[in-house]
Amino acid sequence: MARVQTYELRPIGWVRSPLTDPAAAPKQGDEGAPPARIVVRPELAEAMADLTAGATVIVLTWLHEGDRGVLSVHPRDDATRPRTGVFSTRSQDRPNPVGLHLVTITGIDGTTLDVRDLEAVDGTPVIDIKPVLGPER
Protein backbone atom coordinates (compact mmCIF):
# COMPACT_ATOMS: atom_id res chain seq x y z
CA MET A 1 0.00 0.00 0.00
CA ALA A 2 1.26 3.48 -0.87
CA ARG A 3 2.23 5.84 1.90
CA VAL A 4 -0.45 8.46 2.56
CA GLN A 5 0.81 11.97 1.86
CA THR A 6 -0.78 15.26 2.72
CA TYR A 7 -1.10 18.29 0.46
CA GLU A 8 -1.75 21.92 1.22
CA LEU A 9 -4.63 23.78 -0.41
CA ARG A 10 -5.00 27.55 -0.18
CA PRO A 11 -8.38 29.06 -0.95
CA ILE A 12 -8.43 31.45 -3.89
CA GLY A 13 -11.56 33.02 -2.45
CA TRP A 14 -14.83 32.44 -0.65
CA VAL A 15 -18.50 32.03 -1.46
CA ARG A 16 -20.87 34.79 -0.37
CA SER A 17 -24.43 33.50 -0.44
CA PRO A 18 -27.72 33.86 1.40
CA LEU A 19 -27.49 30.08 1.97
CA THR A 20 -26.24 29.45 5.52
CA ASP A 21 -27.63 26.03 6.44
CA PRO A 22 -26.29 23.06 4.43
CA ALA A 23 -29.42 21.06 5.26
CA ALA A 24 -31.63 23.75 3.69
CA ALA A 25 -29.44 24.29 0.59
CA PRO A 26 -30.52 22.79 -2.74
CA LYS A 27 -28.80 19.50 -3.60
CA GLN A 28 -27.62 20.93 -6.95
CA GLY A 29 -27.24 24.49 -8.17
CA ASP A 30 -29.93 24.19 -10.82
CA GLU A 31 -32.47 23.16 -8.17
CA GLY A 32 -33.17 26.65 -6.86
CA ALA A 33 -29.85 28.08 -5.70
CA PRO A 34 -30.10 31.83 -5.14
CA PRO A 35 -27.69 34.25 -6.84
CA ALA A 36 -24.31 34.17 -5.12
CA ARG A 37 -20.88 35.73 -5.28
CA ILE A 38 -17.36 34.41 -5.34
CA VAL A 39 -14.95 36.87 -3.75
CA VAL A 40 -11.46 36.12 -5.05
CA ARG A 41 -8.37 37.18 -3.11
CA PRO A 42 -7.20 40.56 -4.54
CA GLU A 43 -3.65 39.35 -5.24
CA LEU A 44 -5.13 36.81 -7.70
CA ALA A 45 -6.83 39.45 -9.89
CA GLU A 46 -4.54 38.69 -12.84
CA ALA A 47 -5.76 35.06 -12.84
CA MET A 48 -9.28 36.36 -13.55
CA ALA A 49 -8.23 38.40 -16.60
CA ASP A 50 -10.13 36.38 -19.21
CA LEU A 51 -13.30 35.54 -17.28
CA THR A 52 -16.39 37.14 -18.78
CA ALA A 53 -20.02 37.60 -17.85
CA GLY A 54 -22.09 34.88 -19.52
CA ALA A 55 -19.30 32.31 -19.32
CA THR A 56 -19.96 28.92 -17.77
CA VAL A 57 -17.17 27.77 -15.46
CA ILE A 58 -16.45 24.94 -13.05
CA VAL A 59 -15.95 26.10 -9.48
CA LEU A 60 -14.16 23.76 -7.09
CA THR A 61 -14.87 24.31 -3.42
CA TRP A 62 -13.70 22.81 -0.15
CA LEU A 63 -16.90 21.67 1.56
CA HIS A 64 -15.52 22.59 4.97
CA GLU A 65 -18.62 21.44 6.86
CA GLY A 66 -18.48 17.94 5.35
CA ASP A 67 -17.67 14.85 7.42
CA ARG A 68 -14.41 13.32 6.12
CA GLY A 69 -15.08 10.00 7.84
CA VAL A 70 -18.20 9.13 5.82
CA LEU A 71 -17.74 6.44 3.16
CA SER A 72 -21.35 5.69 2.20
CA VAL A 73 -24.61 7.64 2.23
CA HIS A 74 -28.24 7.40 1.24
CA PRO A 75 -28.21 9.38 -2.05
CA ARG A 76 -29.82 12.83 -1.71
CA ASP A 77 -30.33 12.09 2.03
CA ASP A 78 -33.26 9.84 1.09
CA ALA A 79 -33.35 6.97 3.62
CA THR A 80 -35.57 4.93 1.27
CA ARG A 81 -32.66 4.65 -1.18
CA PRO A 82 -29.93 2.08 -0.52
CA ARG A 83 -26.60 3.21 0.90
CA THR A 84 -24.14 4.07 -1.85
CA GLY A 85 -20.37 4.63 -1.74
CA VAL A 86 -19.65 8.36 -1.63
CA PHE A 87 -17.53 8.20 -4.78
CA SER A 88 -20.77 7.46 -6.66
CA THR A 89 -22.56 10.48 -5.16
CA ARG A 90 -22.23 14.26 -4.89
CA SER A 91 -22.40 14.16 -1.07
CA GLN A 92 -20.40 16.79 0.82
CA ASP A 93 -19.49 14.05 3.31
CA ARG A 94 -16.46 12.22 1.87
CA PRO A 95 -12.73 11.66 2.54
CA ASN A 96 -11.78 14.83 0.63
CA PRO A 97 -14.80 17.14 0.58
CA VAL A 98 -14.18 18.79 -2.78
CA GLY A 99 -17.29 20.36 -4.29
CA LEU A 100 -17.81 20.59 -8.05
CA HIS A 101 -20.18 23.30 -9.30
CA LEU A 102 -21.11 24.22 -12.86
CA VAL A 103 -22.00 27.91 -12.65
CA THR A 104 -22.62 30.83 -14.97
CA ILE A 105 -20.91 34.14 -14.35
CA THR A 106 -23.54 36.87 -14.41
CA GLY A 107 -21.29 39.81 -13.60
CA ILE A 108 -17.79 40.80 -12.57
CA ASP A 109 -16.79 43.67 -10.30
CA GLY A 110 -13.07 43.75 -9.58
CA THR A 111 -12.28 40.41 -7.96
CA THR A 112 -15.90 39.54 -7.25
CA LEU A 113 -17.83 37.20 -9.54
CA ASP A 114 -21.61 37.24 -9.46
CA VAL A 115 -22.81 33.73 -10.33
CA ARG A 116 -25.94 31.63 -10.63
CA ASP A 117 -26.45 27.93 -9.88
CA LEU A 118 -24.02 27.81 -6.93
CA GLU A 119 -25.50 25.82 -4.05
CA ALA A 120 -22.53 26.21 -1.66
CA VAL A 121 -23.20 27.88 1.69
CA ASP A 122 -21.87 31.27 2.70
CA GLY A 123 -18.20 31.17 3.69
CA THR A 124 -17.33 28.04 1.68
CA PRO A 125 -13.70 28.22 0.54
CA VAL A 126 -13.20 28.26 -3.24
CA ILE A 127 -10.09 26.31 -4.27
CA ASP A 128 -10.15 26.80 -8.06
CA ILE A 129 -12.09 28.04 -11.07
CA LYS A 130 -11.73 26.21 -14.37
CA PRO A 131 -13.12 26.71 -17.87
CA VAL A 132 -15.63 24.28 -19.33
CA LEU A 133 -13.89 22.52 -22.22
CA GLY A 134 -15.54 20.98 -25.21
CA PRO A 135 -17.84 22.28 -27.92
CA GLU A 136 -18.12 26.05 -28.19
CA ARG A 137 -19.90 27.47 -25.13
Tell me the per-residue pLDDT of 49-77, one tens digit each, with 9 for 90 and over.
999 999 999 999 999 988 999 999 998 78
Give the range of the structural domain holding residue 78, as residue numbers without chain letter: 13-131
The reply to whether 4 falls in a domain is no
In the predicted structure, residue 23 carries a pLDDT above the cut 90: no
CA pair distance 52, 14, nearest whole angstrom: 19
The whole-number pLDDT of residue 90 equals 84
The reply to whether 61 falls in a domain is yes
The helix (run of H) or strand (run of E) holding residue 99 is: strand 98-109
The whole-number pLDDT of residue 44 equals 98
The reply to whether 81 falls in a domain is yes
How many separate domains does the chain show?
1
The reply to whether 7 falls in a domain is no
The reply to whether 74 falls in a domain is yes
The whole-number pLDDT of residue 26 equals 58
The whole-number pLDDT of residue 21 equals 81
In the predicted structure, residue 129 carries a pLDDT above the cut 80: yes
72: helix, strand or coil? strand
**C-alpha radius of gyration, the chain, whole number:** 16
Instruction: Specify the CATH number for the domain of residue 65.
Output: 2.40.30.70
